[in-house]
Structure 1
Amino acid sequence: MTYIEEYYNKIISNEIIACKRIKQAYSMLVDKLHNPGKYDPWIFDEELANRPIEFIETFCKQAQGELGGALKLELFQKAKHQAVFGFVHKETGFRQYQEVLDIRGRKNGKTTELAADETFMLVGDGEGSPECYIIATKLDQSKKGFNECYKMIQQSPDLNKHLKKRKSDIYCPFNYGTIQALASNSNGLDGLNSHMVTIDELAAIKNRDIYDLMKQSMSSRRQPLLDCITTNGFIRGSIFDAQYEYACKVLDGKVKDDRFLAFIYELDDKDEWDKEEMWIKANPGLGPIKKIEFLRDCVNKAKEDPAFKATVMVKDFNMKENSASAWLRWDELNNEAVFDIREMGFRYGIGCFDLAETTDLASAKILCMKRDDPGIYVIQKYFVPQEKLNNEETNKEEDSVPYKLWEQQGLLRVCPGNKINKYDILEWFKEVRDTYDIYIPWIGYDPWHVDDSLLQTFKDEFGSESMIPVRQGVYTLSFPMKELKADLIADRINYNNNPIDKWCLSNMEIKTDINGNIQPIKGVDNRKRIDGGVSLIIGYVVFLDKLSEYENMI
């Protein structure tokens, strides 16, 4: 019996409690073992499947705890290695899977496992001049994995005899191979010829450029491997979210990708977080690798400390959150409902906009309702200067968000030059009014950024009583923000699953006075934009103030 089958049998018998995504993965893998004809030209070679396991348990030694002790893989690790290395092309014998995404809770043996895999791919994979890379956002982070490799090799007499540490790499003389640590700002990434790329903590990668670059660097290898092992993280809209979504589509059968394999260890429901028997769903190494007593202490602390709970949910149970200090949790702000404005028949809407800095991001919205429908529907448009899109490097460092993609999707309007043209926002309101026949009786705005000329132009177009100033501060914003939060939690607000709205809402933090009144702030990271959230709050101030009149209109 293979380790894949052994692990799967323990899952279906409930000897091992597993989440939906792991059941999907191993159900597929067992089906491939039992029905190879369905998956032609891929077959399972048990000898190749066991080769990395035997190498790791024979030659790799403990670099932490019991120094020099034998490194023994747990059943879930052996099953994974058989899956990754065992399925090959029936004619060439080269591996099927070239990319692996492994999401598991922290302290489940990720770094040690990756160090062992890097060493195997350097020495035992039969590749000439293999280039193996450990990747992270910052070099100090990638060096942690590199140093784990080196310490593991030092503790092994057999490996230490043959592998040499040089200034910037570990070198294997008999096949000219190397292991090297790299970061997103390293020079010369374009010229790499990668055999294995390891990304430890993909969720910490702020932009996807380094991922894309390293994946493309494997194109000339016979059987390369990109291995990402990570926990969830607080950065939303990142490469992690994109890969997670892609993995779910593959597991659900919505996307066919014979070269991609995903292992997602997570809770199936957030309500399982305080049920000990469910913890193994996100922590496959619970017990022999990760101590249950430590996790129990973390959960108990989280029950008394809401800020720490967010960390436990994300890092121990792989639940999606945005920030421990955010105004809204991810599950509170996330609404994937969509609508087609052309089919809704809106007749009246409440406008709002937030200009912020003219060199930055600006947001405009129209809030609409229909008779006998409690939903509040948000039509939106974002504005950004052309110069910001042109300066790719600045954008990567500042925001790490796909402005150009959003422009292509029609979510973002680009203003020529290096400043936002305030009158473009006026033109957008006019376009929505004239295209969809939506009358806009009121438009809320922050008077700090609106000069008399712009204000008069809006009044000339929408009426002398149309413009409603909304001053920023707890007195004006606190109650509407609390109402807005309640309606977001209730999924009453349909913002058409707009990713920029989600990004801005997830970035927003709050400042609270001694009376419990709140107002929005960016927090310590000034790169995080909140303009879309601020414009929605401005709109909600007007919405609540004019609600009776608005309901009479619709």
Structure 2
Amino acid sequence: MTFIEEYYNEIMAGNIVACKRIKQVYTILMDKLYNRKDNWVFDLELANRPIEFIESFCKQAQGQLGASLELMLFQKAKHQAVWGFVDEKTNLRQYQEVLDIRGRKNGKTTELASDELYMLVGDGEGSPEVYNIATKLDQAKKGFNECYKMVQQSPDLNKHLKKRKSDIYFHANYGFIQALASNSNGLDGLNSHMVTIDELAAIKNRDIYDLMKQSMGSRRQPLLNCITTNGFVRNSIFDSQYEYACKVLDGKIKDDRFIPFIYELDDRDEWDQEGCWIKANPGLGVIKKVGFLRDCVKKAKGDLAFKATVMVKDFNMVENSASAWLRWDELNNEKTFNLSEMGFKYGIGCFDLAETTDLASAKVICMRPDDDTIYVMQMYFIPRTKVNEEDERNDEDQVPYKLWEKQGLIKICEGNKVDKYHMLEWFKELRNEHDIYLPWIGYDPWHVDDSLRMSYENEFGKAAMIPVRQGVKTLSFPMKELKADMIANRIVYNNNPIDKWCFSNTEIRTDINGGIQPIKGQDSRKRIDGCVSLIIGYVVLLDKEQDYLNMI
């Protein structure tokens, strides 16, 4: 019996508790074992080679130094799946990309290091180039150093593998293992046999992923191996890969070269049910200590900020920030609407001009008779110089302003400042082209001078302009009401990615009375303008709600 079959039987019998996504992938693998798909066949000898290599030659680099590695059943089944399915004519591997999502402290780094050593020494490739990749070189070196320590603990490997200045070299086939970061020079010239990305969820810019995947184009049977927990970075390469993996498992996309192993809770409410923890932690009880996780869950029950970390890192649930105002599941609403079909007649305008040298946001809130939904239209504005600065940085924090411009989500103002009157023109456009009248427009008076205010009054009436001063006294109650409506999916903002970015960046300051107001986090490059403008609009909506409902 193969390890694939053994693991499948254990999870289907309930002897090993597994989540939906793991059951899906092993159901697919079992079907492939018994029902040949296209030209792919299973070769047991090739499937077992990496397992035998790891357990024979790789030694513990942490804890019990020098002890032999013994893979758990879930790891053996995975290795047979990745290395065992081959083309019947060429005997070359089917799978060229692996996505493995599992909770922290489940043996990810050790497993990756042993896989890299196998791909360097035992995979039969001439001059194999094996790379550890991360956004920062220090992070990439963690996996590389794990490889080197493993070599040092293994007498057999230590005879043949030598550490040079920047790599681990195998003279017999002229191959090497090297750590690289996204800002390393010469990434375009790589000829990768294996690329390891540890903690994919920490990568904010997908360019390095795309570049490394393309670097494998001339190899016979390359492998891109990503092992990660979930993370706090949203709308990232991780989210894209996770969505893609789910579509593959659901049969919506056919990709014979990609295989995902997603260990996660099936439901957020399972987080304090000890019997479900193994769903996201396949090494629980052997690699990861149950007592450690039990203590983390206990602490999380009394510490909401730490709970977010536990949900993400131990159970692979989606969150956006450990101290964010809104969790990802609270802010994420993918519903959309077509403005031309909605029949809106009246709306409430709002805008935030906190920094004219940076991102600015305008919104219009609309409702319809006999419809509890609050619909949000938005437009963002940014100076050209700010966009150029982002292009010049070209790092992992880069914001895709030009893509958003192409999508019609943001207007780029020439020069080094946002033209305040462009925002007024957008409000006039909604009125003139879509027949949406704005009886009220909320704004922060700190950033609006008399001439701009008078220009709005000339267009929409003197009573239309509603000053909304920033502070706990004004914003706390509306923010709490807005959060409740966001959780209830009552706020439909057309799945706007800039809105999501701003919502997920927003943190709160709480006073001694429990009052709250929005603040930026420590990263000054994360913008919250879109969230602030909506909060301003909500202040006006709550104040004018009955009058507005009578209008519509």
TM-score bracket, shorter-length normalisation: over 0.9
The aligned residue for residue 382 of structure 1 is: 380
Q: Cα deviation per residue 1:395-418 (whole Å; 9 max; x = unaligned)?
A: 544843322322222222222233
SS at match of 1:132: strand
SS at match of 1:465: helix
SS at match of 1:215: helix
The aligned amino acid for 2:7 is Y
The aligned residue for residue 9 of structure 1 is: 9
The aligned residue for residue 93 of structure 1 is: 91
The aligned residue for residue 412 of structure 1 is: 410
In 1, Cα distance between the equivalents of 2:126 and 2:386?
A: 44
The aligned residue for residue 546 of structure 1 is: 544
| CA RMSD, Structure 1 to Structure 2 (Å) | 1.3
The aligned amino acid for 2:229 is T
The aligned residue for residue 340 of structure 1 is: 338
Query: CA distance change for structure 1 residues 397 and 476 in 2, over 3 Å: closer, same or farther?
Result: farther
In 2, Cα distance between the equivalents of 1:301 and 1:324?
A: 14
The aligned residue for residue 434 of structure 2 is: 436
The aligned residue for residue 424 of structure 1 is: 422
In 2, Cα distance between the equivalents of 1:283 and 1:23?
A: 15
In 2, Cα distance between the equivalents of 1:310 and 1:264?
A: 19
In 1, Cα distance between the equivalents of 2:70 and 2:130?
A: 23
Query: How far 1:302 moved relative to its partner?
Result: 1.0
In 1, Cα distance between the equivalents of 2:371 and 2:391?
A: 45
In 1, Cα distance between the equivalents of 2:371 and 2:550?
A: 14
Tell whether 2:478 aligns with 1:480: yes
The aligned residue for residue 18 of structure 2 is: 18
The aligned residue for residue 200 of structure 1 is: 198
TM-score for the superposition, normalised by structure 1:
0.97
Task: Kindly indicate whether the alpha-carbon contact (under 8 Å) linking 1:236 and 1:322 is maintained by their aligned counterparts in 2.
Answer: yes
The aligned residue for residue 175 of structure 1 is: 173
Task: Kindly indicate whether the alpha-carbon contact (under 8 Å) linking 2:203 and 2:396 is maintained by their aligned counterparts in 1.
Answer: no
SS at match of 2:463: coil
Query: How far 1:249 moved relative to its partner?
Result: 1.4
The aligned residue for residue 238 of structure 2 is: 240
In 2, Cα distance between the equivalents of 1:362 and 1:301?
A: 39
The aligned residue for residue 325 of structure 1 is: 323
Query: CA distance change for structure 1 residues 16 and 170 in 2, over 3 Å: closer, same or farther?
Result: same
1:267-416 to structure 2, matched below 5 A, reads 267-394=265-392, 396-397=394-395, 399-416=397-414
Query: CA distance change for structure 1 residues 90 and 72 in 2, over 3 Å: closer, same or farther?
Result: same
Q: Cα deviation per residue 1:186-218 (whole Å; 9 max; x = unaligned)?
A: 111111111111011111112112111111111
User: Equivalent of 1:490, from 477, 488, 491?
Assistant: 488
Query: CA distance change for structure 1 residues 131 and 384 in 2, over 3 Å: closer, same or farther?
Result: same
Task: Kindly indicate whether the alpha-carbon contact (under 8 Å) linking 1:508 and 1:522 is maintained by their aligned counterparts in 2.
Answer: yes
Q: Cα deviation per residue 1:292-315 (whole Å; 9 max; x = unaligned)?
A: 111111111111222211111110
In 2, Cα distance between the equivalents of 1:125 and 1:414?
A: 51
Task: Kindly indicate whether the alpha-carbon contact (under 8 Å) linking 1:366 and 1:379 is maintained by their aligned counterparts in 2.
Answer: yes
In 2, Cα distance between the equivalents of 1:513 and 1:50?
A: 60
Task: Kindly indicate whether the alpha-carbon contact (under 8 Å) linking 1:134 and 1:180 is maintained by their aligned counterparts in 2.
Answer: yes
Query: How far 1:455 moved relative to its partner?
Result: 1.8
1:220-235 to structure 2, matched below 5 A, reads 220-235=218-233
SS at match of 1:442: strand
In 2, Cα distance between the equivalents of 1:371 and 1:395?
A: 48
In 1, Cα distance between the equivalents of 2:402 and 2:63?
A: 48
In 1, Cα distance between the equivalents of 2:214 and 2:421?
A: 42
Task: Kindly indicate whether the alpha-carbon contact (under 8 Å) linking 2:168 and 2:178 is maintained by their aligned counterparts in 1.
Answer: yes
Q: Cα deviation per residue 1:315-346 (whole Å; 9 max; x = unaligned)?
A: 00000111111111122212222222222111
The aligned amino acid for 2:40 is W
Task: Kindly indicate whether the alpha-carbon contact (under 8 Å) linking 2:204 and 2:396 is maintained by their aligned counterparts in 1.
Answer: no
The aligned residue for residue 117 of structure 2 is: 119
In 2, Cα distance between the equivalents of 1:486 and 1:320?
A: 19
Q: Cα deviation per residue 1:477-502 (whole Å; 9 max; x = unaligned)?
A: 11111111111111111112212111
Task: Kindly indicate whether the alpha-carbon contact (under 8 Å) linking 1:133 and 1:179 is maintained by their aligned counterparts in 2.
Answer: yes
In 2, Cα distance between the equivalents of 1:335 and 1:32?
A: 37
The aligned residue for residue 190 of structure 1 is: 188
TM-score for the superposition, normalised by structure 2:
0.98
What runs of 5+ residues in structure 2 fail to find an aligned partner?
A: none
Task: Kindly indicate whether the alpha-carbon contact (under 8 Å) linking 1:369 and 1:375 is maintained by their aligned counterparts in 2.
Answer: yes
Of 453-462 and 155-164, more deviation after overlay is shown by 453-462
Query: How far 1:427 moved relative to its partner?
Result: 1.6
In 2, Cα distance between the equivalents of 1:505 and 1:214?
A: 31
Tell whether 2:499 aligns with 1:501: yes
In 1, Cα distance between the equivalents of 2:298 and 2:435?
A: 55
In 1, Cα distance between the equivalents of 2:339 and 2:272?
A: 42
Matched length: 552
Query: CA distance change for structure 1 residues 399 and 124 in 2, over 3 Å: closer, same or farther?
Result: closer
The aligned residue for residue 35 of structure 2 is: 35
The aligned residue for residue 63 of structure 1 is: 61
Task: Kindly indicate whether the alpha-carbon contact (under 8 Å) linking 2:100 and 2:260 is maintained by their aligned counterparts in 1.
Answer: yes
Task: Kindly indicate whether the alpha-carbon contact (under 8 Å) linking 2:205 and 2:396 is maintained by their aligned counterparts in 1.
Answer: no
In 2, Cα distance between the equivalents of 1:113 and 1:96?
A: 21
Query: CA distance change for structure 1 residues 390 and 254 in 2, over 3 Å: closer, same or farther?
Result: farther
Task: Kindly indicate whether the alpha-carbon contact (under 8 Å) linking 2:4 and 2:81 is maintained by their aligned counterparts in 1.
Answer: yes
Query: How far 1:106 moved relative to its partner?
Result: 0.2
The aligned residue for residue 159 of structure 2 is: 161
In 1, Cα distance between the equivalents of 2:187 and 2:280?
A: 34
Percent identity of equivalent pairs? 78
In 2, Cα distance between the equivalents of 1:62 and 1:532?
A: 50
The aligned amino acid for 2:459 is E
In 2, Cα distance between the equivalents of 1:266 and 1:331?
A: 15
In 1, Cα distance between the equivalents of 2:394 and 2:316?
A: 26
Query: CA distance change for structure 1 residues 172 and 399 in 2, over 3 Å: closer, same or farther?
Result: closer
What runs of 5+ residues in structure 1 fail to find an aligned partner?
A: none
Tell whether 2:146 aligns with 1:148: yes
SS at match of 2:380: strand
Query: CA distance change for structure 1 residues 193 and 258 in 2, over 3 Å: closer, same or farther?
Result: same
